[in-house]
Amino acid sequence: MSGYDRIYLASPHMGGNEQKYINRAFETNWIAPLGENVDLFEQEIASYAGSNGALALSSGTAAIHLALILLGVGRDDVVFCSSLTFIASANPILYQGAIPVFIDSEPDTWNMSPSALRSAFELYAARKKLPKAVVVVNLYGQSADYNQIKDICDSYGVPIVEDAAESLGATYHGKRTGGFGKFGIFSFNGNKIITTSGGGMLVSDDTAALEKARFYSTQARDKAIHYQHSELGYNYRLSNVLAGIGRGQLEVLDERINKKREIFERYREQLQDIDSIRFMPEANGCTSTRWLTVMTIDPDATNKKTYELINYLQQYNIESRPVWKPLHMQPLFQNIDYFRYNELDVSQNLFYNGVCLPSDTNMTENTQDFVIDKIRAFFHQR
Ligand SMILES: *Cc1c(COP(=O)(O)O)cnc(C)c1O
């Protein structure tokens, strides 16, 4: 390992058949946001995720946006959302002029805390301002606790949008993520476990709702020969060329998941003697894809800081990052309601103490050993 090549958190990793499907689009001249690759990619994702249908879109963000539109989220409506996540989970709430309310994580999964969610519901029910939807995020390849979360949401009759952008292929009590809410969304951005360079998918058992989403995603064009529009639409479809990449990628998804889990195990085994390091837990009944290996530094066991580790690794051209900065801490969301786990702010602590490590399936064992060496050297320096 020279150390000159950058070592990434996650980079695109082609399987081999992507080019074949792209060529098919070229041969048939379907260089358009429709065609065979799009249709088949939708069917394949729906069947993989165990949903009745799927709609291929230009991004995961677009999928969340359409889900909120279909749930009737509009101006001044309230939407509950996980706080510990990428901004894309919540931006579509703002697109609709609605008001996000953020929910803390639980220590077991790092995902939405059912008890914090219950507190939020109790308060907003008392205010007679129930949310129109709850956006639940599956972080870093691990499912949220849907048995509990669904019970709470069902008891108030509020639908779930499952943000499974980071968890394609993860399971919760034997069922793959994406199908636990009224709508589920996936992302095929370049850093995700499989990629189309950019793209997303909306999945649901409600195929009529998906038809409506298809309508909104193609500029809401009325059924007429002339161009007529009665509703506001968007240009959100995935191109047939990119869907070809997705089809090739889906063929190697399970292989990628196995590799991600091997990468995690190697870190865990080779760093387990460092007392101040912990790893993201895998909750009972869940299989995480370990999209990213994430560790935390125990502040009671060492005075070493996450930023020092990140800067240290950077010297060797190794990419590492803090855990997502929680949305309730973002300048964009000042004065937004937030429900903590208990007196502890779990997501804030994870942000302060968490580091995402290179989890690139393109990485060789030698390269990972180089990263592990540098992490060990960091913790052993005085
Ligand atoms: C990547 C990601 C998204 C957005 O996906 P895009 O395809 O980049 O729009 C949404 N939510 C989470 C949690 C993500 O990690």
pLDDT digits (tens, 9 = 90+) for 102-160: 999 999 999 999 999 999 999 999 999 999 999 999 999 999 999 999 999 999 999 99
How many angstroms separate the Cα of 88 from the Cα of each of 21, 124, 164, 187?
29, 24, 12, 11
Ligand 1 and 141: CB distance under 6 A: no
Residue 55 predicted with pLDDT over 60: yes
Tokens of 79: 């939407």
Instruction: Delineate the domains of the chain, giving CATH numbers in brackets.
Output: 18-250 (3.40.640.10), 253-380 (3.90.1150.10)
pLDDT digits (tens, 9 = 90+) for 193-236: 999 999 999 999 999 999 999 999 999 999 989 999 999 999 99
Q: Considering 132, 192, 259, 374, which one is annotated as catalytic? A: 192
Residue 110 and residue 127: Cα distance in Å, rounded? Answer: 28
Ligand 1 and 360: CB distance under 6 A: no
Q: Where are the alpha helices (DSSP H) in the chain?
A: 18-27, 36-49, 60-70, 91-95, 114-126, 146-156, 207-217, 240-251, 253-271, 306-314, 346-353, 365-380
Ligand 1 and 166: CB distance under 6 A: yes
Residue 33 predicted with pLDDT over 90: no
- Would you call 182 a catalytic residue per the annotation? no
How far, in Å, from the CA of 258 to the mean position of ligand 1? 22
> Which residue of 89, 242, 327 sits with most ligand 1 atoms within 8 Å of its CB, as the best mutation to test the pocket?
89
The rounded mean pLDDT for the chain is 96
Contact 144, 137 (CB under 8 A): yes
How far, in Å, from the CA of 84 to the mean position of ligand 1? 13
pLDDT digits (tens, 9 = 90+) for 266-285: 999 999 999 999 999 999 99
Residue 112 and residue 228: Cα distance in Å, rounded? Answer: 42
Tokens of 335: 């004065």
Q: What is the pLDDT of residue 125?
A: 98
Q: Which residue has the tokens 């995961």?
A: 60
Q: What is the pLDDT of residue 1?
A: 42
Confidence label for 381 from pLDDT (cuts 50, 70 and 90): confident
- Annotate 273-302 with DSSP letters as a single string: T-TTEEE----TTEE---SSEEEEE-TTT-
Residue nearest (by alpha carbon) to ligand 1 atom 2: 165
pLDDT digits (tens, 9 = 90+) for 71-105: 999 999 999 999 999 999 999 999 999 999 999 99
